Amino acid sequence: MKVLFVCLGNICRSPMAEGIFNKLVKERGLGQKYTSDSAGTAGYHIGELPDFRTRKICEVNATPLNHRGRKLLKEDINTFDLILAMDLMNYKDILEQLLVSDSEKSKVRIMRSYEPDGYGKEVPDPYYGDLEDFKLVYSMLENACTCMLDELELNSIE
Ligand code: 4NP
């Protein structure tokens, strides 16, 4: 299963989500089953390393990152099985930019929607915040990725 995490700039939230997801997958011995990537709806940071604050928080939490910023591509809707938006604006932009048809819509979901009480909840943009905001985003993503992987695994054995 190929999973794509999407935010605006692809330097703060989505590379962090990708790193956390990869770590969880590895811990559960599911490396053969899942691959992941991340992308931004905007192209401001193409080719760049993740933001230094994302790198710092991931380092502190022993979460490896291996990503350079890239923009969302039209073909991503075909390449990936699941596309996860960090917030509602990302979700709307993904549907528009990828010209997602009604039959493809179930491939695109909001990251926190896997949490038991996550309906309508977003992963807030920490770019103009401080390290505390990045810390909060990390714990939010750790919880959201755990809930997501739990649900994917549950569905895969049904
Ligand atoms: P991200 O955060 O979407 O979580 O990567 C942002 C990064 C850069 C910008 C905005 C948000 N920017 O405006 O450059």
| 89-112 per-position pLDDT tens digit | 999 999 999 999 999 999 999 999
The mean pLDDT of 7-30, rounded to a whole number, is 98
**Quick one: what percent of the chain has pLDDT higher than 90?**
98
Strand boundaries in the chain, DSSP class E: 2-7, 35-40, 82-85, 108-110
How far is the centre of ligand 1, averaged over its atoms, from the C-alpha of 78 (Å)?
A: 25
pLDDT digits (tens, 9 = 90+) for 138-152: 999 999 999 999 999
* Backbone φ, ψ for residue 142 (5° rounding): -65, -45
How far is the centre of ligand 1, averaged over its atoms, from the C-alpha of 7 (Å)?
A: 8
The mean pLDDT of 46-54, rounded to a whole number, is 98
Nearest CA to ligand 1 atom 6: 9
| Whether the CB of 9 sits within 6 Å of ligand 1 | yes
Q: What gap in Å lies between CA 56 and CA 135, rounded to an integer?
A: 10
Cα 146 from chain centroid (whole Å) = 12
- The question of whether 125 is a catalytic residue gets the answer yes
Q: What gap in Å lies between CA 146 and CA 78, rounded to an integer?
A: 25
Distances (CA, A) of 129 to 24, 120, 132, 134, 136: 26, 22, 8, 8, 11
What are the contacts of 132-135 at 24+ separation with CB within 8 A?
Answer: 134/12, 134/16, 134/53, 134/54, 134/56, 134/57, 135/57
Q: What is the model's pTM?
A: 0.98
Which residues are 109's β-sheet partners?
84
Looking at 12, 13, 53, 145, which residue is catalytic? 13
| Whether the CB of 8 sits within 6 Å of ligand 1 | yes
Q: What is the pLDDT of residue 17?
A: 98
How far is the centre of ligand 1, averaged over its atoms, from the C-alpha of 12 (Å)?
A: 6
Q: Residue 157 pLDDT > 80, yes or no? A: no
What CATH superfamily is the domain 2-157?
Answer: Response regulator (3.40.50.2300)
The mean pLDDT of 2-10, rounded to a whole number, is 98
